[in-house]
Amino acid sequence: MALTLTIRAPDDAHLHLRDGTSLMYTVAASAKSFKRAVVMPNLVPPITCVDTAHAYRERIQQACPPSSSFTPLMTLYLTDQTTPEIIDAAAASKHILAIKLYPAGATTNAHAGVTRLDLLMPVLERMAEHQLPLLMHGEVTDPDVDIFDREAVFIERVLQPLRQAIPELPLVMEHITTADAVAFCQAQAGRFAATVTPHHLIYQRNDMLVGGIRPHLYCLPILKRRVDQDALVRAVISGDPRFFLGTDSAPHARHSKESACGCAGVFNAPVAMEVYTHVFEEHNALDRLENFCSRYAAEFYQLPCNTDTLTLVREPWIVPGQMDYGNQDTLIPMLAGQQLNWKVHHG
C-alpha cells in the first residue's frame, strides 16, 4: 500500500488569483490543496478599497468548484492615496485580513504602488492601532541597486526604520529569498513573520540561468544563491512559527513568460503542496510540515485552524506540460513534465 500522509488542511498565505475568466482555472488549482488563501490585490486596477475587495471576493467564490469550500482572505493594495479612514473600514470588514505594500514599480502590476512610505505614517499608525498587518513586497526599486541586492537593501533602508518607528505594527515579509531576510526575521519579536515559496526552496539562480534561460523560473524577488536557498530550507524545517507557507503562485499566460521581456511570476499552485512535502521529507522533517502549512499562518492572523484534513500519497506522477488558462491561453506550471513523488489525494 502506498505511504500516505494526512495533515490538517493547509492555508496559502500568499496567492495571486487574477480576475475574470482566469479565476475558473486559478481557483480550481489552489482549491485542490488549500482550504484558505490570502489573496493578493495586484489587479489592474488594483484593489484599493473595501467595496472592490468584497466584490472581488464574490467573484472568487463564484469561481470555486462546487465541491470545494475554498475561502479567500482579502487584502487591500496600499497606495499613496490610502487614508486612515480606508484602514478603519478595512479593519471593520471581517473579510479583509491585511494591507499589501508594493514599492512602486517593484513587480508585476506594482505601478500603482507606494512612492514614499514615510508619507504614509498616519496610515501605518492606524493599522498598528487596529493590529491590521502590513504585508510587504520587500524590495527597493532604486535603479542603482542590483536586482540581487534589492531585498537586503529593503531590510536596511525600509524595514529596520519602519520596525523602529512603529514596533507594534504586525508585519509579514512576503516571499523571502535571502539568508539576510531569514536572519532578520529570526531576530524579531512580536507579530513579525515571513512567507516562503516552494520555488525558493528548490531552486537557486543557477537553475534559472545556467545552460539556457528558463523564463518560467523568473519571479520577483528573483532567485538568489545556493547559500540563500539553504538558509530558507533551514528556516522552514526548523519549526520556527515566524516562517509559514505562502506559494506566491503567480500565473502568466505562456506567451507573456516566453517573451523578449517576460513577466515575473511562477505558477506553482498545482504542485506547491507536493513540493513543500518533498522538501520536508528530504530533510527528515515531515513531522514539522503540518505546522508550517496549516498552523503558523492561522496563528499569525489570529484565525482558527482548519478542522478538515488533506491527504498526500507517496506516489510518483508526472506534472502536466501545460494547463488551460482560457481564451486559448496556456499556463506552464512549475516542474512541467517532471516527476514528483508526492501527490495530493483528491477524494
- Residue burial 226-236, b: 16+ Cβ < 10 Å; e: rest: eebbebbbebb
The residues, any chain, with a CB within 8 Å of residue 304's CB and separated by 6 or more, are 298
User: Which of 257, 295 has the CB closer to ligand NCD?
Assistant: 257
CB of 100 to Zn ion, least distance (A): 9
For ligand NCD (CB under 6 A), the number of binding residues is 12
* Beta carbon of residue 100, minimum distance to ligand NCD (angstroms, whole number): 9
Q: Is 219 in the site for ligand NCD (CB under 6 A)?
A: yes
- Residue 60 touches ligand NCD, criterion: CB under 6 A: no
Task: Pull the grid cell for residue 333.
Answer: 506550471
Q: Which of 28, 89, 91, 264 binds ligand NCD (CB under 6 A)?
A: 264
Choose among ligand NCD, Zn ion, none what residue 26 binds, the Cβ cut-off being 5 to 8 Å by kind: none
178 binds, options ligand NCD, Zn ion, none, Cβ within 5 to 8 A by partner type? none
| Residue 8 or 270 with smaller CB distance to ligand NCD | 270
Pick the closer one to ligand NCD by CB: 10 or 113: 113
* Closest distance of CB 35 from Zn ion, Å: 19
Cβ proximity to Zn ion: between 99 and 128 the closer is: 99
Per CB under 6 A, 107 contacts ligand NCD: yes
Please tell me whether residue 108 binds ligand NCD under the rule CB under 6 A.
Answer: yes
Instruction: Tell me whether residue 9 or residue 193 sits nearer to ligand NCD (CB atom).
Output: 193
Residues 123, 129: Cα–Cα separation, whole Å: 10
19 tagged catalytic: no
Supply 69's cell numbers. 469550500
- Within 298-317, the residues that bind ligand NCD by CB under 6 A are none
Instruction: Check residue 248 for interaction with Zn ion (CB under 5 A).
Output: yes
| Beta partners for residue 192, in sequence order | 171
Rule CB under 5 A: is residue 12 a binding residue for Zn ion? no
The footprint of ligand NCD on residues 125-164 (CB under 6 A) is 137
Cβ at position 339, least distance to ligand NCD in Å: 25
Q: Which is nearer to Zn ion, 218 or 342 (by Cβ)? A: 218
Candidate residues 250, 271, 313, 335; the one interacting with ligand NCD per rule CB under 6 A: 250
Q: What residue 18 binds from Zn ion, ligand NCD, none (CB within 5 to 8 A, per partner kind)?
A: none
3-state secondary structure string across the chain: CCCEEEEECCEEEEECCCCCCHHHHHHHHHHCCCCEEEECCCCCCCCCCHHHHHHHHHHHHHCCCCCCCCEEEEEEECCCCCCHHHHHHHHHCCCEEEEEECECCCCCCCCCCECCHHHHHHHHHHHHHHCCCEEECCCCCCCCCCHHHHHHHHHHHHHHHHHHHCCCCCEEECCCCCHHHHHHHHCCCCCEEEEECHHHHHCCHHHHHCCCCCHHHCCCCCCCCHHHHHHHHHHHHCCCCCEEECCCECCCCHHHHCCCCCCCCECCCCCHHHHHHHHHHHCCCHHHHHHHHHCHHHHHCCCCCCCCEEEEEEEEEECCCCEECCCCCEECCCCCCCEEEEEECCC
Among 12, 248, 324, 329, the one annotated catalytic: 248
Q: Is 16 among the residues that bind ligand NCD (CB under 6 A)?
A: yes
- Among ligand NCD, Zn ion, none, residue 229 binds (CB under 5-8 Å by kind): none
Q: Which is nearer to Zn ion, 151 or 248 (CB)?
A: 248
220 binds, among ligand NCD, Zn ion, none (CB under 5 to 8 A by kind): ligand NCD
Measure Cα distances from 210 to 200, 205, 206 in Å.
Answer: 16, 8, 5
Q: Does 42 bind ligand NCD (CB under 6 A)?
A: yes
Catalytic residue annotation = 248
Which residues are near ligand NCD by CB under 6 A?
16, 42, 107-109, 137, 219-220, 248, 250, 264-265
Which residues are near Zn ion by CB under 5 A?
248
